[in-house]
Structure 1
Amino acid sequence: MMFHNREDAANQLIIALKQFRHENAVVLAIPRGGVPLGKKISEALHFPLDISLIKKIGHPANKEFAIGAVGLEDEFFTETERTVSRDYVDEEIDKVREKLQKRYHQYMGDRHPVSLKNKTVIIVDDGVATGSTLLATVQMVQHQDAAKIIVAVPVGAPAAIRKLRTVADDVICLETPTDFRAVGQFYENFEQVNDREVIEMLH
């Protein structure tokens, strides 16, 4: 299946997500590409919309090797974190969280993040390649006592979708093509979403 653009992908996801329309739910969009889909889905199903901002923390000896991730209000770490000094971890958490808070304010203004406690949380992105961002997002949402976590994407690499199914309560993925190489491969129009567009959608 080829999606015309993100709006077309959102319209098709809305059909699949109507089964949750009577739940106490929140749509959590992954900036920037997930925001156009999240906005359309939240409006169609009358759910509040928020964004998820997460940044991984790398090992001091190899920044590419993630030892955990930090969100606006929570963080989680792998077992490897125990081999790293607490001072390093605390310093990285403070540094990353300050950047995330500035970015959240840039996108959302003075609004506070929506409480996810006891909610059905629908995490939305425009596609999944490795799944690392969505996996980290699911783990972060779990720490916020969500009642149910649903990942909703138009297209994803089969291996990434399999991984997500092991951590989320449900994964709605319209297409898992075996020839997956990149998300943009399945969109006729996959122009980058910029910060200005995200801000306009969220206000």
Structure 2
Amino acid sequence: MDLLFADRAQAGEMLAERLRGARNPLVLALPRGGVAVAVPIVRGIGGRLDVLVTRKIGYPPTPELGVGAIAEGGEPVFDLLLLRRLGMTPASVAEVVAEERRELARRVKVYRGDRPLPDIAGREVIVVDDGLATGATARAALRAVRVARPGRLTLAVPVGARDTVEAMREEADEVVVLRMPADFRAVGQWYEHFDQLSDADVLELLAEV
């Protein structure tokens, strides 16, 4: 079995070692867990930290099953194959998308207030999360950033399912991942401590850098 990360902070420190070639990057963390990974990255390599808020779009009868995701500044990204298998279309989840847009806007207000996202055009941007399972939220985030024309776009995660990581290479200029375990089932299984974070935890972390 692959070694576990002690926690998100340790994972971020290890990622920072792999990202030292970055020059004054804009590090965009996916709340909530990605923020705890991103803080030690910024401490290690410099640059600016901000959040990029994403929301999973759940299958209405079983919301835990994600059929897509949405990121601020971007359009919904759907798993069309899964939707077809479920006998649905994007229009079938329009109400869910509207609800998630409202929650996304609420979280943006909590984390950034009225301040907009930093200017992305031409910048080196690193999108950070605490792991990749299906990759839905990461895909939505990367596509939202890509529309803003970054100079270079990197996705950095401590751990991910191999198939998902390979799929993300089509969305980013570079994918930096520390571990792709063969027996990957869930992100949390690869951390000794994987506590759920609150909005207050996110704000406290953002205030540290």
Task: Identify whether the pair has TM-score above 0.5, normalized to the shorter chain.
Answer: yes
Q: TM-score range by the shorter chain?
A: 0.7 to 0.9
**Partner residue in 2 for 1:5:** 7
- Would the aligned equivalents of 1:69 and 1:136 in 2 still touch at CA under 8 Å? yes
**Partner residue in 1 for 2:151:** 147
The answer on 1:41 being equivalent to 2:45 is no
Q: Distance in 2 between matches of 1:77 and 1:57?
A: 9
Give the TM-score taking structure 1 as reference length.
0.82
Measured on the aligned residues, the alpha-carbon RMSD in Å equals 2.9
Alignment of 1:108-119 (within 5 A): 108-119=112-123
Q: Distance in 2 between matches of 1:46 and 1:106?
A: 24
The answer on 1:170 being equivalent to 2:170 is no
Give the TM-score taking structure 2 as reference length.
0.80
Aligned length: 196
Q: 1:4, CA displacement in angstroms?
A: 0.9
- Would the aligned equivalents of 2:39 and 2:205 in 1 still touch at CA under 8 Å? yes
Give the aligned residue type for 1:123. V
Alignment of 1:48-197 (within 5 A): 48-55=48-55, 66=67, 69-75=69-75, 96-197=100-201
Identical-pair percentage: 37
The DSSP-based 3-state class of the residue aligned with 2:131 is: coil
The DSSP-based 3-state class of the residue aligned with 2:19 is: helix
- Would the aligned equivalents of 1:76 and 1:140 in 2 still touch at CA under 8 Å? no
* 1:33-69 CA-partner distances (Å, limit 9, x unpaired): 1101112212222211111112356799x98784x75
Give the aligned residue type for 1:50. D
The answer on 1:15 being equivalent to 2:17 is yes
Unaligned runs of at least 5 residues, structure 2: 81-88
The DSSP-based 3-state class of the residue aligned with 1:42 is: helix
Q: Distance in 2 between matches of 1:166 and 1:12?
A: 24
Q: Distance in 1 between matches of 2:74 and 2:118?
A: 14
Q: Distance in 1 between matches of 2:33 and 2:66?
A: 25
- Would the aligned equivalents of 2:74 and 2:143 in 1 still touch at CA under 8 Å? no
**Residue among 199, 202, 207 paired with 1:198:** 202
Over 3 Å counting, the alpha-carbon distance change for 1:39 and 1:111 in structure 2 is farther
